[in-house]
Amino acid sequence: MTRCWFCTRPAKAATRPSSTSTPARRDTDEFFRDRFYGELWVGRRPSLGETTAQLGLETAHIADLEKALAELDPSHTRVLRGYDQTVDGIVGAADEGQRDDELASALSELRLVKDDWEIGQLRNAIAATVDGFCDVVRAMPSDRGFSERLIDGVFGLRARHDGNAVGYGNIAATGAHATTLHWTQNDGTVDPKDMLLLDAGVENHNFYTADVTRTMPISGRYSDTQRRVYDLVYAAQQAGIEAVKPGAPFKAAHEAAMKVIAEGLEDWGILPVSAEESLQEDCGLHRRWTLHGTSHSLGLDVHDCSHARAEAYTKGDLAVGHVLTVEPGLYFQIDDLTVPAELRGIGVRIEDDILVTARPAPRTCRPVCRVRPRTWRPGWPSSEPPGSDCRAESEMFVTHPRRTC
């Protein structure tokens, strides 16, 4: 990384000449002795001049940063805080931070609608992610124990090879680990009779990330109980995706998915009240087993646009170009005595990345992966992908089969 800083300033103040020097080259001590930035240690890096040309922004040596920031008038400066402690510390916040909050919100809201280039980037990240899921299925033995690290590592290899890195820490959760929402330790021993919940996304070379989750049987075949939970979450996700359309509230997918979940739990005799009552704002007993929201914006960050004002995002309406996840889940903790013993320790989440389009777009309707595990058994994949019912007011980047991965 070049040691430069960027700052927008009124044009009249932008008098500092662009430096085209290469201060870290061989004629400096930095070249030889700086193990963080010296080129002898870390290799060639762009000069300030090269960086200025590449970005179209004025740059300066980082040694000048403190003085330049100290000269700024906080009442005429806004800082996107939380990214650089030095900048945060030197530039005071005016108006109790309100001006900075406005900047953060504005930047987030600019990212809500993705343009064609960004959509291409997300498709690129998702395609690599699909390949990563297939890699994992290919690598998993289905007839003996192995470590979750295998899953973590195989997906990580795809992410590093096809993209920049993983967009967030892989969640490679097997068995009861799947009931831990952010199981990133990934150090368990896999029992082939369990399911794998894999929540992972490749961050591509331009830093756009996918966010996909599949819950699949390690052996290639669900038990009846695993299938029952999977099918309910799948139905909830389909209902959520169907609710995604321009002009619909952002929360529509969540509400549609939760209705399916609550009704399913009522049918199973688990919910202590009716689904209708549970779905009331002041009740929500089903949330004991759903734990999280159904959707978030996706883009450069896995939780993109997180500083957008609620009225523009979570309490706003969907628009063409929004990209969001739809990812309901059901989690029965291993020690949850309020559910039948057979459900305890089962966690299922299914997640896809959805682009809001003006007209119904044909969904791809293909599994994330249809490869055989290393020890193939009949029943994998266990059903064909859905056919005629595959249209919605949204475009699925990634779809899945009814019951496999």
Comparison of 26 and 303: residue with beta carbon closer to Mn ion = 303
Q: Is 58 in the site for Mn ion (CB under 5 A)?
A: no
Comparison of 48 and 324: residue with beta carbon closer to Mn ion = 324
Please choose, out of 1-9, 164-172, 184-192, 211-219, the segment that lies near Mn ion by the rule CB under 5 A: 211-219
Comparison of 30 and 211: residue with beta carbon closer to Mn ion = 211
Comparison of 325 and 404: residue with beta carbon closer to Mn ion = 325
Q: Is 352 in the site for Mn ion (CB under 5 A)?
A: no
Shortest spacing between CB 235 and Mn ion, in angstroms: 19
Shortest spacing between CB 296 and Mn ion, in angstroms: 6
CA distance 177 to 241: 27
Token representation of residue 114 = 């993705």
Comparison of 137 and 323: residue with beta carbon closer to Mn ion = 323
305 contacts 209 by C-beta, under 8 angstroms: no
CA distance 260 to 239: 7
Binding letters toward Mn ion, positions 24-43, x by CB under 5 A: --------------------
Shortest spacing between CB 276 and Mn ion, in angstroms: 28
Shortest spacing between CB 211 and Mn ion, in angstroms: 4
Comparison of 135 and 352: residue with beta carbon closer to Mn ion = 352
Comparison of 199 and 393: residue with beta carbon closer to Mn ion = 199
Comparison of 221 and 349: residue with beta carbon closer to Mn ion = 349
Comparison of 203 and 211: residue with beta carbon closer to Mn ion = 211
Shortest spacing between CB 240 and Mn ion, in angstroms: 13
Q: Is 211 in the site for Mn ion (CB under 5 A)?
A: yes
Shortest spacing between CB 10 and Mn ion, in angstroms: 40
Token representation of residue 363 = 């969904």
Shortest spacing between CB 271 and Mn ion, in angstroms: 25
Binding letters toward Mn ion, positions 213-252, x by CB under 5 A: ----------------------------------------
Q: Which of residues 146-205 bind Mn ion (CB under 5 A)?
A: none
Please choose, out of 112-120, 206-214, 283-291, 356-364, the segment that lies near Mn ion by the rule CB under 5 A: 206-214
Q: For Mn ion, how many residues bind (rule: CB under 5 A)?
A: 2
Shortest spacing between CB 388 and Mn ion, in angstroms: 29
Q: Which of residues 311-350 bind Mn ion (CB under 5 A)?
A: 325
Tell me the H-state helices in 163-223: none
* Phi, psi (deg, nearest 5) at residue 401: -75, 170
Comparison of 137 and 354: residue with beta carbon closer to Mn ion = 354
Question: SS3 sequence, the chain?
Answer: CCCECCCCCCHHHCCCCCCCCCCCCCCCHHHHHCCCCCHHHHCCCCCHHHHHHHHCCCCCEHHHHHHHHHCCCHHHCCCCCCCCHHHHHHCCCCHHHHHHHHHHHHHHHHCCECCHHHHHHHHHHHHHHHHHHHHHHHHCCCCCCEEHHHHHHHHHHHHHHHCCEECCCCEEEEHHHHHCCCCCCCCCEECCCCEEEEEECEECCCCCECCEEEEEECCCCCCHHHHHHHHHHHHHHHHHHHCCCCCCECCHHHHHHHHHHHHHHHHCCCCCCCHHHHCCCCCCCCHHHHCCCCCCECCCCCCCCCCCCHHHCCCCECCCCEEEEECCEEEECCCCCCCCHHHCCEEEECEEEEEEEEEEEECCCCCCCCCCCCCCCCCCCCCCCCCCCCEEEEEECCCCCCCCC
Shortest spacing between CB 81 and Mn ion, in angstroms: 25
Shortest spacing between CB 353 and Mn ion, in angstroms: 8
- Residues contributing to the site for Mn ion (CB under 5 A): 211, 325
